[in-house]
Structure 1
Amino acid sequence: MNVRKIITFTEDIHTEGGRPVDPPARTAVVLAVIENPWAGQGFVEDLLPGIDEVAPKLGGLLAPRVVAALGAPVEAYGKAAIVGLDGEIEHGSALIHTLKFGDHFRTAAKATTLLPAVEKRAAAGTVFDIPLKHITDATIRSHHQSIEARVPDGPRADEIVIGLAAAAQGRPQSRLAPLATEQ
């Protein structure tokens, strides 16, 4: 696994809808810009060797970083794969849609639900939104949110940006009725 760089950022929302948010609503994102393990090989029929080589290392690298950056228990989480223009969307999906990657974050977050995801092929600097859902119950509406991310110089054509995002709470000032009220 060839990592070019890792970007970590947090966001603390202190006011929403003109009202204070106390404590501030915190989210964290960690993005790794890596060399696409299938770059320059043409169409690769069997992605499993690359998955086995890269996904566990990547999950082990990113999961503890995003939890540490959040600095609080994780209540919502999500993942992303943005593939450079010379790759296939399947290359990003192969790395993030495997337990070899995701179980690192599930374990670190003490989570039980599937990680919501975004994956796409895009040029360097593309803005993307990482969806977040509650770590144990994906129907909890207050935790349906997203966080915007961007790597100004990535992914390059032969790279993939892999990201994990976490929130310490639901949306600030959330007030939608529980899903059960509509069933």
Structure 2
Amino acid sequence: MNIRKITTLTEEITSEGGRPVDPPARVVVVAAVIENPWKGQGFVEDLTEGIDAVASDLGAELAPRVMEALGTELEAYGKAAIVGLDGEVEHGSALIHTLKFGNHFRDAAQATTLLPAVEKRAAAGAVFDIPLKHFTDATIRSHHQTLEVRVADAPHPDEILVALAAAAQGRPQQRLAPLSTEA
């Protein structure tokens, strides 16, 4: 695995809807920009070799970083893969949609739900939204949120940007009734 850089973004929301948020709502993203393990190979029928070479190590690198950056108990999480223009969306999917990658984050967060995800192919600097959901119950609507992210110089055409996101709470000032209240 060749990592070009790791970027950590932290957001603290102190006001929402004209009202204070106390304590501030904390959301973090840790993104690694890596060399696409399938670069220059043309269409690869079986992606297993690249998955085995990268996914687990990448998850092991990112999971503790996002938990440390959050600095408190996690309540919502998500993941993303943005593939450079010379790659395939499937390359990003192959890395993040495997237990070899995701279980590092689930274990670190003591989570039980699937990690919501976004993946796409894009040029460097593309904006992407990472979906977040509650870490033990995906039906808890207060934790359904997205975090907009952009890494100015990534991914290069032969790279993949892989990110993990975490929130310490649901949406600030959320007021929707629980899903169970709907008939």
**Corresponding residue of 2:153:** 153
Q: Percent identity?
A: 78
**Corresponding residue of 1:40:** 40
**Corresponding residue of 1:65:** 65
For residue 10 of structure 1, give the secondary structure of its aligned residue in structure 2.
strand
Q: Say if 2:119 is the partner of 1:119.
A: yes
For residue 166 of structure 2, give the secondary structure of its aligned residue in structure 1.
strand
Whichever residue aligns with residue 108 of structure 2, its letter is A
Whichever residue aligns with residue 107 of structure 2, its letter is T
Distance (Å, rounded) in 1 between the aligned partners of 2:72 and 2:19: 23
Q: CA deviation at 1:182?
A: 1.1
Whichever residue aligns with residue 121 of structure 1, its letter is R
**Corresponding residue of 1:136:** 136
Distance (Å, rounded) in 2 between the aligned partners of 1:43 and 1:156: 19
For residue 80 of structure 1, give the secondary structure of its aligned residue in structure 2.
strand
**Corresponding residue of 1:176:** 176
For residue 148 of structure 1, give the secondary structure of its aligned residue in structure 2.
strand
Distance (Å, rounded) in 2 between the aligned partners of 1:72 and 1:28: 11
Whichever residue aligns with residue 155 of structure 1, its letter is P
- The Cα offsets for residues 90-118 of structure 1, whole Å up to 9 and x where unpaired, read as 00000000000000000001100000000
Taking the TM superposition and a 5 Å limit, the aligned residue runs for 1:24-103 are 24-103=24-103
Whichever residue aligns with residue 96 of structure 1, its letter is I
**Corresponding residue of 2:9:** 9
Distance (Å, rounded) in 1 between the aligned partners of 2:132 and 2:139: 12
- The Cα offsets for residues 43-91 of structure 1, whole Å up to 9 and x where unpaired, read as 0011001101100000000000000000011100000000000000000
- The Cα offsets for residues 4-45 of structure 1, whole Å up to 9 and x where unpaired, read as 000001100000000000100000100000000001000001
For residue 138 of structure 2, give the secondary structure of its aligned residue in structure 1.
coil
Equivalences, count: 183
Whichever residue aligns with residue 55 of structure 2, its letter is A
Distance (Å, rounded) in 2 between the aligned partners of 1:9 and 1:50: 27
For residue 27 of structure 1, give the secondary structure of its aligned residue in structure 2.
strand
TM-score, normalised on structure 2?
0.99
Give 5+ residue unaligned stretches, structure 1.
none
Whichever residue aligns with residue 70 of structure 1, its letter is L
Distance (Å, rounded) in 1 between the aligned partners of 2:179 and 2:162: 31
- The Cα offsets for residues 146-166 of structure 1, whole Å up to 9 and x where unpaired, read as 111111111000000000000
For residue 49 of structure 1, give the secondary structure of its aligned residue in structure 2.
helix
Q: CA deviation at 1:181?
A: 1.1
For residue 6 of structure 2, give the secondary structure of its aligned residue in structure 1.
strand
Moved runs in structure 1, 4+ residues, more than 6 A?
none
For residue 94 of structure 1, give the secondary structure of its aligned residue in structure 2.
helix
